[in-house]
């Protein structure tokens, strides 16, 4: 369960339907070209929170089928509809996903006891392992070290996907929990996570440059931090441009330019602005994506 995981992008048509063949192409690119160690399925990058339960199941199924055991699979099943989270957790577990993950429940100001109960309910109903998905910038839920302590007491809680820039907290978690899996969440900060001793990283941009992320990770493991930093500079030149042009739209357009059918994003997100196509073509060419 260690290494670089792409947060899987999901191709949609302009009616918001999943493009199955395109999804298979995006998965193959991750396995064959980016050579990532695993996929994080139905996360933010999969536009999960805009999908129906059936669509989420369809994505779990196609991904499981296409990967066919070649790489590890984490199923993000979190939802503020706990019944849905349990249903998806059971579904992914039956398919054979290596672990579940669930975003901290958001929108309402849930108490910590409610958050704890949410995780325990999914774990008890599925019997599967759980990776906490902490992403305070989007959920507004920022957990303290003491709260992580409580959740980590459950041995089925095997780790955390930590999408935050609080490296003090990351260091504290690493020191206290050498045996829990910690995944770094912000791709543009991968090197800091790697230096802090994370077990892996999960991110959207690895769909287009997972190979660079793997280099950073391996170089840091070999103590070659200066070289790793050079690669992070390259990765961040790409990410900076992607963020400027629109995150998921541009990642998909990069894949489209490369001949992989990544489709478009789902409404209410706006589709890629075709006026920016030339900038994307230049990015693909300049960075040999």
Residue ranges at the known binding site:
44-45, 163, 185, 187-188, 202, 204
> Which residue, judged by CB position, is nearest to ligand NGF in the bound state?
43
Which of 29, 30, 44, 55 forms a contact with ligand NGF (CB under 6 A)?
44
- Using CB under 6 A as the binding criterion, the count of chain residues that bind ligand NGF stands at 17
Residue 77, both tokens: 């099943």
Q: Which residues make Cβ contacts (< 8 Å) with residue 109, sequence separation at least 6?
A: 140
How many other C-beta atoms lie within 10 A of the C-beta of residue 233?
10
Among 154, 141, 133, which Cα is nearest to 111's? 141
Q: 122, 242, 131, 263: which is closest to 185 by C-alpha? A: 131
End-to-end CA distance of the chain: 26
Rounded to 10 deg, the angle between the 247-257 and 277-286 helix axes is 70
* Residues 225-254 contacting ligand NGF, CB under 6 A: 239, 247
Nearer of residues 123 and 160 to ligand NGF, judged by Cβ: 160
CA–CA separation, 160 and 136 (whole Å): 13
Site track 123-162 with ligand NGF (rule: CB under 6 A), x = hit: ---------------x------------------------
From candidates 186, 191, 193, 254, binder to ligand NGF by CB under 6 A:
186
Residue of the chain from 4, 7, 208, 238 that contacts ligand NGF (CB under 6 A):
7
Task: Give the nearest distance from C-beta 143 to ligand NGF in angstroms.
Answer: 16
Q: Pick from 29, 30, 34, 45: which binds ligand NGF (CB under 6 A)?
A: 45
CB-based contact 1:181 (threshold 8 Å): yes
Q: Give the CA diameter of the chain.
A: 51
Among 40, 119, 133, 162, the one annotated catalytic: 133
Q: Which of 56, 72, 161, 180 is catalytic?
A: 161
161 is catalytic: yes
Contact between 187 and ligand NGF per CB under 6 A: yes
Measured from the CB atom, the residue of 180 and 209 that comes closer to ligand NGF is: 209
User: 27: exposed, middle or buried (C-beta count within 10 Å: 0-12, 13-18, 19+)?
Assistant: buried
Which residues are CB-neighbours of 248 under 8 A, at least 6 positions away?
9, 45, 47, 204, 265, 269
HSE of 55 in the Cβ direction (CA atoms, 13 Å)?
17
Give yes or no for residue 204 binding ligand NGF (CB under 6 A): yes
- Is 205 a binding residue for ligand NGF by CB under 6 A? The answer is yes
Active site residues: 133, 161
Contact residues for ligand NGF (CB under 6 A)? 7, 40, 43-46, 138, 163, 185-188, 203-205, 239, 247
């Amino acid at each position: 369960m260690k290494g670089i995981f792409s947060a899987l992008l999901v191709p949609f048509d302009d009616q918001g339907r999943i493009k199955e063949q395109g999804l298979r192409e995006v998965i193959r690119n991750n396995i064959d070209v980016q050579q990532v160690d695993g996929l994080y399925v139905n996360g933010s990058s999969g536009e999960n929170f805009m999908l129906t339960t059936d669509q989420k199941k369809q994505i779990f199924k196609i991904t499981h089928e296409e990967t066919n055991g070649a790489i590890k699979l984490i199923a993000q099943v979190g939802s503020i509809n706990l019944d849905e989270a349990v249903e998806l957790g059971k579904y992914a577990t039956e398919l054979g996903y290596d672990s579940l993950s669930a975003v901290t429940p958001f929108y309402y100001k849930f108490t910590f006891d409610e958050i704890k109960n949410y995780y325990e309910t999914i774990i008890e109903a599925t019997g599967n392992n759980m990776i906490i998905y902490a992403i305070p910038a989007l959920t507004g839920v920022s957990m303290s070290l003491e709260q992580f302590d409580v959740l980590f007491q459950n041995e089925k809680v095997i780790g955390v996907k930590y999408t935050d820039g609080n490296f003090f907290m990351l260091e504290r978690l690493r020191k206290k929990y050498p045996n829990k899996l910690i995944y770094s969440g912000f791709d543009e900060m991968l090197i800091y996570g790697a230096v802090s001793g994370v077990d892996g990283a999960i991110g959207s941009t690895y769909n287009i440059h997972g190979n660079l992320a793997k280099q950073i990770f391996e170089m840091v493991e070999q103590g070659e931090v200066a070289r790793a930093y050079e690669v992070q500079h390259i990765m961040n030149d790409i990410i900076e441009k992607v963020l400027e042009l629109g995150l998921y739209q541009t990642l998909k357009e990069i894949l489209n330019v490369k001949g992989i059918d990544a489709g478009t994003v789902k409404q209410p997100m706006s589709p890629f602005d075709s006026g920016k196509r030339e900038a994307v073509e230049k990015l693909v060419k300049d960075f040999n994506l």
